[in-house]
Amino acid sequence: MKFSGLIALLFLSSACLSQSVPQYPLARVDRNVAQLPSPLPSWGGANGAGAKWCNPEFNGICIIRITDANTNRGSSLTTADTGDAQLVTKDSKHIAVRTPGGASIIRTFDPVTQAVGDTPLRFGYIVQPSETDSQVLYGLRKTAIHKLTANAAWTAVTDEIVYDYANDKCLGADYVPTWHGVFTITGDPQVFRTAFSNSGHQGSGNLVVAYSEQNGCSVLDTVAGTVTNNGVLVGSVDTPDRFRLHSGGIGRNPLYASTDPTLHQPDGSDGCLTAKKCATQYFWQIGTTHLALCGPPGATWYCDGHLGELVSGALSGHNYRFHGWYDPTQPLTSMGSLPEGGGDTHQSATNGADINGQPLFIFSQIVNSPSTYTVWGVNEIMAMALDGSGTVIRFGQNLNSGKSSNFVCQNAIGTAFQSDGAPASYALFTSDMGGTGQLGYEADGATPRCDVFAIETTKNEITVARERTGLQASQ
């Protein structure tokens, strides 16, 4: 692998110091507790795509319903299970929503008028839009990377296989996966990354793979502790730790991939095969034998929970300590913090978040949400300024009960995206909107559905004019 861009990339993150932090004038930055609205918005029941509600507790910031029962034959729709995956086309006009069964459906969205609609495009596997071309989608089908180019009307696609990991210079021609992790695409030129297992489901993974046209395929085997480039052994990693994977191949830096060991093997033994207390994150410098533990050995709390993956490093835990990719054992001062009791958090960096650049979007959720909010930040969509000020920007509540059996909905996971440049104009998230049938029910007639929603992070002049004249969609 070639790493001539490493120094330039690290300097790029330092150059962000001169950038001003994006402003969100309608968002709240106070730390007051906001209770749920009563009654909750109705959202039109099962068939309410396009419905909108503007929260008076958050300065009239609006939530727009993107999907409904018509989108997926009555069943739930979700975002991705991590904020690292791209969900929206570069021009912000098409959104890839997902079914709990792993299919993808393309919806239309107008970021100016906030109108939503259908396309006939549906895929039996997970796809995500390109970050560089508004007409292109990518998907991982078994071991093959598919490039799907949509026609102008978004009624059909041209399907091209970019690369198949199952070849003699990567995983081997006979490799048949039983599980793969989140599929991520970063950089220009693009690097395609994920994790695989051929011996079980999530938690049994042992291979992290990275492919680019420039450098070919690199494979990290986390159990054997070896790295190969294009089928040639590079050597053993520079840590004694060996482990199975909960996830792998994630991150916003094309030169690195984070790996998340599983706490327990399928047989119940410790997740790490040679070291104790390694239930944390490791960062792999792709193509090399450098595999670094995030945080000092044994101090697993430094990189617990879900990482916020930036270009220059990662932020961990409720205290959001920053760890650089190359040497994540040395955390810097916290960029900010959320209150204890505010719930679990999932972060999104797809809007280009980095130190002293775009803020990090945060999606907070208490599973089985309390009826009374006791601290600020409970079940909210927020962003944290990464300038060291500790400013937390609050856009609104996800109105989610946390009671869904679907993981993405249960945790109201989302991501942010831009329209007409920075800062981010909307955040997507999944919610059951109170879990009492506001979105209709699954086919059993008893299980509340979940849908995908967009929440404003900024307002354009057309939207403000429509709201002032009462032309907004149903309340």
Q: What is the mean pLDDT of residues 15-33?
A: 73
Cα(185)–Cα(143) distance, integer angstroms: 15
Residue 55 has pLDDT above 50, yes or no: yes
- pLDDT beyond 90 at 222: yes
Task: Please check the confidence at residue 265 and state whether its pLDDT lies above 90.
Answer: no
Tell me if 422 is assigned to some domain.
Answer: yes
Q: Residue 350: what pLDDT?
A: 85
104-to-160, 164, 212 alpha-carbon distances in Å: 17, 21, 24
pLDDT exceeds 60 at position 402: yes
Rank 243-257, 307-321, 453-467 by mean pLDDT and report only the highest: 243-257
Band the pLDDT of 3: cuts 50, 70, 90: very low
Report the range of poorest mean pLDDT among 51-65, 170-184, 228-242, 312-326. Answer: 312-326
Domain of residue 401 covers 18-114+347-475
Q: What are the pLDDT digits (tens) for 25-52?
A: 899 999 999 999 999 999 999 999 999 9
- Provide the pLDDT for residue 75: 94
Instruction: Give the tens place of pLDDT for each residue, 74-118.
Output: 999 999 988 889 999 999 999 999 999 999 999 999 998 999 999
Residue 329, domain member (yes or no): no
pLDDT at 223: 94
Per the structure, how many domains does the chain have?
Answer: 1
* Of the candidate ranges 82-86, 191-195, 430-434, the one whose mean pLDDT is the lowest: 82-86
Residue 279: its pLDDT value, please? 66
Is 142 a domain residue? no
* The predicted structure's pLDDT at residue 266: 61
| Under 8 Å between Cβ of 413 and 346 | yes
| C-alpha 59, offset from chain centre | 27
DSSP states along 125-138: S-EEE-SS-TTEEE
Rounded to an integer, the average pLDDT of 365-371 is 90
| Residue 157 domain-assigned (yes or no) | no
The band of 475, judged by pLDDT with boundaries at 50, 70 and 90, is: very low
**Looking at residue 262, what is its pLDDT?**
83
Give 350: exposed, middle or buried? Use CB within 10 Å, 0-12, 13-18, 19+: buried
Within a domain: residue 145? no
The whole-angstrom separation of Cα 86 and Cα 456 is 18
The model's pLDDT over 107-144, given as tens digits with 9 standing for 90+, comes to 999 998 999 999 999 999 999 999 999 999 999 999 99
What long-range pairs does 313-322 form, CB within 8 A, spacing at least 24?
Answer: 313/13, 313/355, 314/251, 314/258, 314/281, 314/283, 315/347, 315/360, 316/281, 318/342, 318/345, 320/360, 320/384, 322/355
Listed in sequence order, the residues at least 6 apart from 449 whose beta carbon sits closer than 8 Å to its beta carbon are 46, 69, 74, 75, 76, 432, 439, 440, 441, 442
**Cβ neighbours of 32 (radius 10 Å):** 8
Residue 167 placed within a domain: no
pLDDT for the residue numbered 304? 66
Task: Tell whether 416 is covered by a domain.
Answer: yes
Per cent of the chain over pLDDT 70 is 88
Strand arrangement of the beta sheet that strand 392-397 belongs to: 344-348, 360-365, 380-384, 392-397
**Do 185 and 247 meet the contact criterion of CB atoms below 8 Å apart?**
no
Question: Residue 391's pLDDT is what?
Answer: 93
DSSP states along 232-269: EEEEE-SS---B-EEEEEE-S-TTEEEEEE-SB-TTSS
Tokens, residue 116: 């939503």
The answer to whether the beta carbons of residues 223 and 205 sit under 8 Å apart is no
Q: Which two tokens stand for residue 89?
A: 């086309």
Q: Which range scores top for mean pLDDT: 134-143, 314-323, 329-338, 341-350?
A: 134-143
Give the pLDDT of residue 84. 85
pTM: 0.91
> Does residue 410 sit within a domain?
yes
